[in-house]
Structures are given as structure tokens and as C-alpha cells.
Structure 1
Amino acid sequence: MRTTGARRSLAWLLVTWSLTRLVLLLFVLKVFVFPGPDVTSDVSVIYQGWYGTLRTGTFPQHDVTWQYPPAAALAILSPGLLPLLDYATAFFVLVCVTDLAVLALLAYAGRRPGRSLRGAWVWGVGVPLLGPTVYARYDVMVTAVTVAALLAGARHPRAMGALAAFGALLKVWPAMLLLAARRRATWVSALVTGATIAGGFALFMPGGFAFLTSQRDRGTEVESLGALVFHVARHFGWQGEVRLNYGSIEFLGPYVSEVSTGALFLTGAAFGWLVLWRLLARRFEEHTVADAAFVAVLMFTTTSRVISPQYMVWLVGLAAVCLYFPASRMRAPVVLVLLACFVTVLEFPLYFANVVASDGLGLTLLFLRNGLLVVATLLAARTLWRATVPRTLPTPEPAQPAHTDETPVTS
């Protein structure tokens, strides 16, 4: 009966994936037009422009929208693997294939004894909640590497380290997978892989690390947590402006630098909490690495100066791996993240004009989405702390009295 139920679940999962991804492809290929701004222009204009530069063996260093680690070049160049298709179509097809690969990994691993297909369902349902934007960015590719790393972690620590390092050189955040890694082999593999790939790019494609200083002058992106200050302030006479800056729509003007600094302070505080947690944590279970990565990425996403819609797919991937482990306690935060994904597609691209205008609908959607992320972050952090950090530190046992041969006298 259990085998029959698992087969039915897999069948329904495949049907769900097929139907939802067909809809996503129809939108990004413009068979149907999704309301709001054209989300595919990043691929057809920006990515394709970078493709032409990267093919010459150099990075687009003078383009302020290039803000990625060097291995991102591989994702941008990947449509060249399908020369019979135009660049944008090839990119969308490769993202769809990568999406299917993630589902296959989670479904295959979820059928093992002591594992669950819930993770595969989270991926199958969570990705389409983000709408066509998720297929018009390379973040699904990065998330696929991360999911593979976490699934490999228990049995193949070296593979986990190598994949985490490669993922970090694609888009930095996968480095957080190493937060709860305890095996020396994982760290050694990550360091060797990272140094090898980074060294190769440094030798053969100079300029790959210019991204480290490319965001100094960024403002506060209109969808971020800090942006809520200015959305409200605009109704009380704030004299700043909203404009395209560093590849995203940002607030620029009075007090923006202070709010951006506040966001960096919150990110620093989150990092400090994670360091403290790592020092005090004592109870590590097989799902702790995935849970810790989920919490870390939640913290850094929520406190960031930029919360782009595609960032949510990172959380969906990590949430899927958490629920692949039946013992994970992250179910409630995962549900909140999935709800936040649905609200995200409403605020971008569906009602993005309302968000930019800071009107009632735009404010409501932003407060709801960012509020869900804040609650999910706090709940996930508390859950991780309670599951891994003992309430009281172990105390030394009292010293035993010295043994003597004297027999006690009783009266």
C-alpha cells in the first residue's frame, strides 16, 4: 500500500510539474502575455549583451549591472549549447531542463527509506508561484547546484563542499551551506574547489572579481524591507525619487544612505547571531545543515537592500531540502515562504506599477510579502536555536569524596 501511494504521489507530482512549467514556458516565450512589465528583457537584452562580451574572453566590467561572481559567466554562456535556437529561447529551455533535474533529484532521494517526497512537492508547487520571472533569470541554475550539494552532504561530504564552492562562485549565497558543515573533508573540498575555479578565472578571464566593489553606490531597492520607510514617507512629503539604478528600481534621495546603512547593520547582526549559534550549537542531526542554510539565507534575504523576486527561488530550493528530511522542524517557516512567493508574483510583475507608485495596493502587497519573510525568519531562527542549542550549558560533576578504609560508626 505504501509503495502504491508513493507511485500515485509521484504521478501527480509529474503531472503538476508538467502543467505548471508548460504555462511558464508559454509566458516567457510570449505565446501568452503575463500582465505587468516584460520580465524576459533581462535575458533577451542584458544577458544576451553579456553573452557577446563574455565570448571574447573578458567580463563586462564597465557595465554596472554586472554584479556577479566569475562562474556566473558559465550560466550566461550556456545557451551556446543549443546553437539551433535563438539566445532567449535556448536560455528558457535550459532553465526548464534544470528545473526538471531538481525535481528528479528530490523525487529520487525522497523515495529512500526515512525520507519524504514533501521536498519534491515544495519544489513542484513553489517555483510556479513566482510566475514567469523565475524562468527569466539564472537563479534556478544556482539553486540546482545548491540542492545537489545538500542532498549529497550526508553520504558524500567532499561532493557537498565542491558543489557549495562552485555555487558560491555562481552567486555567493550558496557559501552559507557550509555554516553547519562539521566534516573536515567538506571544508577542504570547498577550499580546493573554490581556489581552483577562482584561480582559473583570474588567470584566463581577468576582471572576474570586480563585482566585489560594483555595488558601493546602490540605493535601496523598492521591494526591500528598508524601502517600506520611503514608501510611507512619500505620503508625508519625502522629496526623493524612484529610478532605475544598478539594474533595479531604487529609491534615491534624502536619508537613503542611512536606511541602506541600517540594512547593512541588520545583515551584520544576522551574521553575528549565526556565528553565536554555531559556537553554542551542540545537537546536530542529519537535517541540521539544510535547516541552518535555510535560516541563514532567510536572514540575509530579508535584511538585504535588495529583495528581487528571483531571490525567492533560493528559499524554495532550501525549503524543499528541509522537508525532504521528515524530522526537520521547518514546516511552518516553509509554509510562510510559499505564501510569500505567491504575494511576490502579485507585487512583481502583476502590480509593480502600484508598488513603484507607493499607492495603497502596492504598500499592502509589500507589507504582506516582507512581513511574511520577517515572521518566517524569526520563527525559523527560533526553531533552529531550540533544536540545537541546549538550554543550560553542561556543568561539571561534583568531586567524589576520597575513598577510605574507615568504617562509619553508627549509634
Structure 2
Amino acid sequence: MRDEADPRRARPGTALTVPGLWLATRAFLLLTVLDIVPLFRTVTWDVTGVYHGWHETMLGGSFPVDDVTWQYPPAAALIIMAPSMLPFSYLGGFLVITVAFDALTMASLMRVPAGEEGRTHVGAWIWLAGVPLLGPVVYARYDLLVTALAVSGLLQLRASSARGGLALGVAAGLKLWPALALIGTPRGRETRRTLAGAAVGGAVSTLLMMTALDGGLGFLTAQQDRGVEVESVWALAFHVARWFGWPGMVSYSYGSMEMIGPYAEAADRVSLAATLLGLCWLVLWRRRARAWTAATPYDAALAAVLIFVVTSRVISPQYLVWLVGLAAVCLTVRASTQRPVAALVLAATAVTMLEFPPLFEDVQQSTVLGVTVLVVRNGLLVAATAVSCLRLWRATVPGAVTARPRDPGLATA
């Protein structure tokens, strides 16, 4: 007799609803990106101008080392060159690739065997909603592609630590932050296999482009002179100070709008120190943690990237898609400690869509409206970081674990 209540069976309504909603939301997103539905200021300049300009330089056999906006690892050239390999305009090719990676991520999250060992499809709904919540900028930057690889790597860790590490290594070769997602892998052989896979993925993708193009190591020093970007947590004090006569200004520098003036360099040093302290906390957590669930690698990845984003001197709008992707992975497991964090991330993503591009001029001018929106967005991110780290610590460190039912997949590592 067939078991009608088998939780592993996908509900027909869900199977039909998710693809339909994905198609509807992404079609609308494309209409806004292409300005067919002109709800936002044009956001495609980074693709048609910056990325395409880098592409032209790379065709000449070199990384764009003379362009101060080039601040990415060598493997990022794979993404920059890829759109020209398709039979479309550069923008058209970029959008086709981006939408394809979005769709593959959606499919990966839907393929999670819901009901099996505490697995759930809630993560798929986070991705479904979170990507369009960021607005058209999510399709006009290459961060979604990196996030898709990081999500794929984390999801694959359960079946093959080496394969998952390989995907995370390639993602880190495109943009460094996915390397932080390795912090939560279980100790012992699993960690060694994951790190080995990541090393291979990062090394192969990096060496491939360094062999093909000159100047591959220029990115190592490209960001050393960057300052406090106007959307970062550290910029809030300067926004308020402008109301009381701070003599500094906002100026375009190194690819973003930065605070220039007295104490800006000191804030820059404080941000770097805060990032270092955050990394030290992650190392301490790693040494103290003992109780691992199936969700712990995912939860730790989200906590680590949140720490990096909040303490960074730069917060670009597209960074929020990193957090949406990691929150989605966390919520594929019922044992995850990050459910309230995912809600805060989605709220911060929605506010970011208001902040950029609609209110970006207000932010640059430090108007009351611009600063208020920035305070709300950054406040949500700071709160998400604190809640994420606290819940991760309490769930995994002896003496901090609160009384709760034993989670599926709980193991001592």
C-alpha cells in the first residue's frame, strides 16, 4: 500500500508553484534591468562599460592592471570573457549566463530531498524571494554567479566533501569570500578532503587565467588604498558628522563612492582591525565547537560572511546576494540555527533595493532620508551578524548549548 504521507514525496502544488513563480519574478527582473519597465535608474553600466572594457583589454593578452577598478582574483577573467562566447551582445550574453546560474541554483535547492534527515525546501523559497528583492542590480553584477557556485559547493559537501570543496575553490578564485564558507566543515578527514578540493579548484582556475593573461597578481595590491565606502557601517558616523559641519566630502575613488576627509583613514584602519577580530572569533569558535549537526557547515558559512560584510570598509548592494544564497543553504536543514538570521537578511535585502539605486543620491548627499535608510539596512545586517554568531556558538560550543531535542545528524566532531 502506498504511503500517502511520505514526507519525501514532493507536493504537486509546490512543484508547480515554484517554477511558475521563478519564471514570473525573473521575467519582471529582466524587464527592469533592460529598462523596458523603467522602475529604477539604469544599472547596466558596470556590464556594458566596466566589464566590457575589461574584456577588451583581456583580448589584448593582459589583465586591466592600469584600471584601479580591477580588484579581483585572476579567475574572475573567466566570467568577464564568457559573455563574448555567446551569439549575443555582451550585455545579452552576460544576462543569459546570469539567468542560467540563477535557474541552476533554484533547481539545486529544489532537489534537496525534503523530509530526509531533516531536510526541507524552505531554502528554495528564500532564494526564490531573495534574488528579486535586491532589484535589477542583482542581474547587473557578477556576484550572483559566484554565489551560485558557493551554494552548489556547500550543497555538495554532504555527498562528496572533495567535490564540494572543488566548487568552493573555484568560487573563491572568482571572488575571495567563498573561502570563508570552508570554516564550518567537520573536523578530521572531511575537512582535509574539502580543503584539498578547494585548493585544486582555486589553483586550477587561477593558474589557467594567469597563464593566458599577463598581470594576474595585480589584484593583490589593487585595494590597499581604498577608503570607507558611503554605504558601509563605518560611513554612518561620517554621514551624521556632515550634518554638524564635518569638512569632508564624498568622492568617486577605486570604483565606489568613498568618504574623503579627516578621520577617514582612521576609520579605515578600525574596519580592518574589526575584520581581523572577526576572523579571530571564527578561529576561536572552530577550536571550541564540538557539537556538529548537518546544518553546522552552512550556519558557520553564513556567520563568517556576515562578519566579513559588516566589518568591511565597503558594502556594495550586490553583496546581499551572497547572504541570500548562504541563508538559503542554511534553511535546507531543519536543524539550522539561522532561521531568524535569514529573516533579517531578507529584510536587509529589501531595504537595499530602496537604497540603491532609488535613494543613492540621498545617501551620497547624507540627507535625512538617505541616512535613515542606511541606518535601517546596516542595523539589520549588524543584528543579523550578532544573532548568527550567538546562535552558532550556543548550538555548538560545550557549556553554551541550550536544552533542546537532539537534532537529526547530530554528531560529535
Deviations 1:311-364 (A, max 9, x none): 000000000000001111110010000000000000111111111111111111
2:409 aligns to what? none
1:13 pairs with one of 15, 18, 37: 18
2:96 aligns to what? 93
Note if contact 1:28-1:92 (Cα within 8 Å) is conserved in structure 2: no
C-alpha distance in 2 between matches for 1:196 and 1:95: 23
2:296 aligns to what? 288
2:36 aligns to what? 31
Query: Do residues 66 (structure 1) and 74 (structure 2) align?
Result: no
Q: Secondary structure at the match of 1:127?
A: helix
**Runs of at least 4 residues off by over 4 Å:** 1-5
2:410 aligns to what? none
Note if contact 1:70-1:208 (Cα within 8 Å) is conserved in structure 2: yes
Note if contact 1:29-1:89 (Cα within 8 Å) is conserved in structure 2: no
List alignment gaps of at least 5 residues for structure 1.
394-411
1:152-167 → structure 2 map (5 Å cutoff): 152-167=156-171
1:1-400 → structure 2 map (5 Å cutoff): 2=5, 6-36=11-41, 38-83=42-87, 85-111=88-114, 113-114=116-117, 115-181=119-185, 182=187, 183=190, 184-391=192-399
Deviations 1:123-171 (A, max 9, x none): 0000000000000000111011001100100111110111111111100
Q: Secondary structure at the match of 1:250?
A: strand
Note if contact 2:394-2:400 (Cα within 8 Å) is conserved in structure 1: no
- TM-score, scaled relative to structure 2: 0.92
Task: Report the AA paired with residue 148 of structure 1.
Answer: S
List alignment gaps of at least 5 residues for structure 2.
402-413
Q: Compared with structure 1, are the counterparts of its residues 112 and 148 closer, same or farther at alpha carbon in structure 2 (3 Å cutoff)?
A: farther
1:407 aligns to what? none
Q: Compared with structure 1, are the counterparts of its residues 203 and 94 closer, same or farther at alpha carbon in structure 2 (3 Å cutoff)?
A: closer
Q: Secondary structure at the match of 1:251?
A: strand
2:408 aligns to what? none
Deviations 1:200-237 (A, max 9, x none): 33333232221111111112110000000110000011
C-alpha distance in 2 between matches for 1:174 and 1:206: 25
Q: Secondary structure at the match of 1:109?
A: coil
Note if contact 2:78-2:209 (Cα within 8 Å) is conserved in structure 1: no
Deviations 1:213-267 (A, max 9, x none): 1111112110000000110000011111111111111111111000111111111
Task: Report the AA paired with residue 132 of structure 2.
Answer: P
Q: Compared with structure 1, are the counterparts of its residues 334 and 354 closer, same or farther at alpha carbon in structure 2 (3 Å cutoff)?
A: same
2:407 aligns to what? none
C-alpha distance in 2 between matches for 1:124 and 1:301: 22
- TM-score, scaled relative to structure 1: 0.92
C-alpha distance in 2 between matches for 1:237 and 1:95: 44
Q: Secondary structure at the match of 1:309?
A: coil
Note if contact 2:168-2:201 (Cα within 8 Å) is conserved in structure 1: no
Identity of aligned residues (%): 47
The Cα of 1:35 is off from its aligned counterpart by: 2.7
CA RMSD of aligned residues (A): 1.6
Bigger radius of gyration among the two: 1
Q: Secondary structure at the match of 2:252?
A: strand
Deviations 1:265-308 (A, max 9, x none): 11111001001000111111111111100000001001111100
Q: Secondary structure at the match of 2:70?
A: coil
Task: Report the AA paired with residue 26 of structure 1.
Answer: L
Q: Compared with structure 1, are the counterparts of its residues 112 and 141 closer, same or farther at alpha carbon in structure 2 (3 Å cutoff)?
A: farther
The Cα of 1:5 is off from its aligned counterpart by: 6.6
Task: Report the AA paired with residue 87 of structure 1.
Answer: Y
Note if contact 1:110-1:120 (Cα within 8 Å) is conserved in structure 2: no
Task: Report the AA paired with residue 380 of structure 1.
Answer: S
Note if contact 2:290-2:397 (Cα within 8 Å) is conserved in structure 1: yes
Note if contact 2:181-2:305 (Cα within 8 Å) is conserved in structure 1: no
Task: Report the AA paired with residue 17 of structure 2.
Answer: W
C-alpha distance in 1 between matches for 2:59 and 2:66: 16
Q: For this pair of structures, how many residues does the alignment match?
A: 391
C-alpha distance in 2 between matches for 1:123 and 1:228: 29
Q: Secondary structure at the match of 1:390?
A: coil
Task: Report the AA paired with residue 394 of structure 2.
Answer: R
Q: Secondary structure at the match of 2:179?
A: helix
The Cα of 1:392 is off from its aligned counterpart by: 7.5
Task: Report the AA paired with residue 91 of structure 1.
Answer: F
Of 51-60 and 320-329, deviating more is: 51-60
1:402 aligns to what? none
The Cα of 1:112 is off from its aligned counterpart by: 6.2
